[in-house]
Structure 1
Amino acid sequence: MRKKTIHDISVYEFPGMETTTLLTKKPFDMHKVNGEGNRNKIAACLDIPSEHLVFPDQQHTSNVGLVTSGNPDHSFSNTDALITNETNLALGVVTADCVPILLFDRAKKAIGAVHAGWRGTNARIVAKTIRAMQVNFGTKPYELSVGIGPSISPEVYEVGADVFDAFFEAGHNVDLFFKPKINGKYLLNLWKANYMQLIYMGVADISIEQAKMCTFMLHDDFYSARREGIKTGRNAAIIKNQK
């Protein structure tokens, strides 16, 4: 990822994705409780009206919403991923340790934004998002560029046996991204789990850019619910469609 400043706001971007991406960092807070003014600032950075910047009402689901000019209220309750192929719309998700994933279809000029915590990852939300893009836009996975944003790293993301069991029961190859600890718990590699879903769906390895930046350990740059509590601020990952 590359750091830059827009309108005096320090952000990151995925330089290889061939469309506009923007990932916020501290002290900028995109939590919906107090982030409305900041949302307007980000929309200004993207040179779009604030109503063209769309976020889902995330609930750790695997539901995917289709954003069009026909749903102007942009109400996407119980949804954790969004897709569109309309010009000058921007899609975003907010995180505080979960994995933000941005997708750009280079051929069809369609975009997606995904919020993948352990529940969404277990439910294969990024694979479902790609399938939704295939159905709605004719997306071919090998024509996708993908960015996996800052999130909690496998070195520190400790989970219990219940999470391991949930992945096992869902048919995942758990040996590939769970590491057992002597205390009976596990370290979960959400980066690898989502990367593997992308590869399985047919996305080319060379087209996947991974930030590999840990929200828990980089306390000066990112908000972390594990470190600071669930009421902490939110990082945002945003992608804009421009033809």
Structure 2
Amino acid sequence: MGFYEKDGLRYYQFESFKSLPVFHAILTRRGGISQPPFDSLNTGGTVGDDPQAVSSNLKKIFTAFGRDLSSRFDVWQVHGDQVVCADSPRNLDAPYQRADGILTANTNITLFMRFADCVPILLVDPQARAVGIVHAGWQGTYRRVAQRAVEKMSAGFGSRPESLLAGIGPSICQSCYEVGSDVLRLFQAHLGADGKRYFQQQDGGLHLDLWKANQEILYQAGVQQVEVSRVCTACNVEDWYSHRGEKGKTGRFAVIMGIKDH
């Protein structure tokens, strides 16, 4: 199913990326030192966990994949549609940029984002040797943050959408994701007639399919190859942090990605 283990860490990888000149890992919650309810590989620094545990977890992840922690580029994720290109690692003393998509073509950069139900979308352009990670919750989805990332790759790296490969990672499934009618109205306002197709009535509630919505947004942006993990974070809290499944008291799992320099 795409699960692997390395140095005590369990992680997910997309099969369609395996022959490409990139490395990536969607880390499960296993293998760290954080204590409950953040057990154990929490990388979220604003959820109430011990900062020293978070720091230790980060170091373990980067060491396991042979990357220097100083190569990290991350942002303050705000559920928007801003996408930034990184040409150097983030100065760890500098303020975070606010964004929900990060891209690079620099082999010295390790892209890094945090998740707990929202959709991790990974992008690869094997021709331009560029990669990206997108964070798409319901707000980022109706704002088409995945499309913004494709457009930014085209503008910044000369990427052709049809040459891109995308992966939709572990995140909350439609059955577990009940939302209010206000969310439906926003989707219809921003996505038109398409917006309603991502919702269904289930057990008396309205449920949103973030996987389908983001897959179709990528197709509409010109991406032709999209792999969907179909792994639900809320159904599998033994492996994943789930904000919905754990009623808000949980950690954040990591996604890392970069370009191989050989």
Once residues 215 and 171 of structure 1 are traced to their aligned partners in structure 2, the CA distance between those partners, rounded to angstroms, is 26
Which of 57, 69, 72 is equivalent to 2:88?
A: 69
Matched, 1:23 2:26: yes
Q: 1:46 is matched with which residue?
A: 65
Is the CA contact (8 Å cut-off) linking 1:157 and 1:187 kept in structure 2? yes
Is the CA contact (8 Å cut-off) linking 1:102 and 1:237 kept in structure 2? no
Once residues 95 and 168 of structure 2 are traced to their aligned partners in structure 1, the CA distance between those partners, rounded to angstroms, is 25
Q: 1:136 is matched with which residue?
A: 156
Alpha-carbon spacing, 1:75–1:47, altered in 2? closer, same or farther (3 Å): farther
Task: Note the C-alpha offset of 1:10.
Answer: 1.6
Once residues 55 and 144 of structure 2 are traced to their aligned partners in structure 1, the CA distance between those partners, rounded to angstroms, is 30
Length, aligned pairs only: 240
Which of 77, 92, 98 is equivalent to 1:78?
A: 98
**Aligned residue identity for 2:231:** M
**Aligned residue identity for 2:118:** C
**Aligned ranges 1:1-243 → 2 under 5 Å:** 1-17=1-17, 18=20, 19-27=22-30, 28-33=41-46, 34=51, 35-69=54-88, 72-73=91-92, 75-172=95-192, 173-181=194-202, 183=204, 185-204=205-224, 207-243=225-261
**Aligned residue identity for 1:20:** F
* 1:46-71 C-alpha deviation (Å, 9 max, x unpaired): 21210212221111111111111286
**Aligned residue identity for 1:197:** I
Once residues 81 and 125 of structure 2 are traced to their aligned partners in structure 1, the CA distance between those partners, rounded to angstroms, is 20
Task: Note the C-alpha offset of 1:210.
Answer: 0.9
Task: Note the C-alpha offset of 1:16.
Answer: 1.8
* 1:170-200 C-alpha deviation (Å, 9 max, x unpaired): 13412321113474x4110000000001101
**Aligned residue identity for 1:25:** T
TM-score (norm 1): 0.92
Q: List gaps (5 residues or longer) in structure 1.
A: none
Once residues 64 and 151 of structure 2 are traced to their aligned partners in structure 1, the CA distance between those partners, rounded to angstroms, is 30
SS at match of 2:81: coil
Alpha-carbon spacing, 1:231–1:51, altered in 2? closer, same or farther (3 Å): farther
Alpha-carbon spacing, 1:146–1:138, altered in 2? closer, same or farther (3 Å): same
TM-score (norm 2): 0.86
Once residues 143 and 23 of structure 1 are traced to their aligned partners in structure 2, the CA distance between those partners, rounded to angstroms, is 23
Please identify, of 119-128 and 71-80, the stretch whose mean Cα deviation from structure 2 is larger: 71-80
Q: List gaps (5 residues or longer) in structure 2.
A: 31-40
Please report the RMSD computed on the Cα atoms of aligned residues, expressed in angstroms: 1.7
Percent of pairs with identical residues: 32
**Aligned residue identity for 1:235:** F
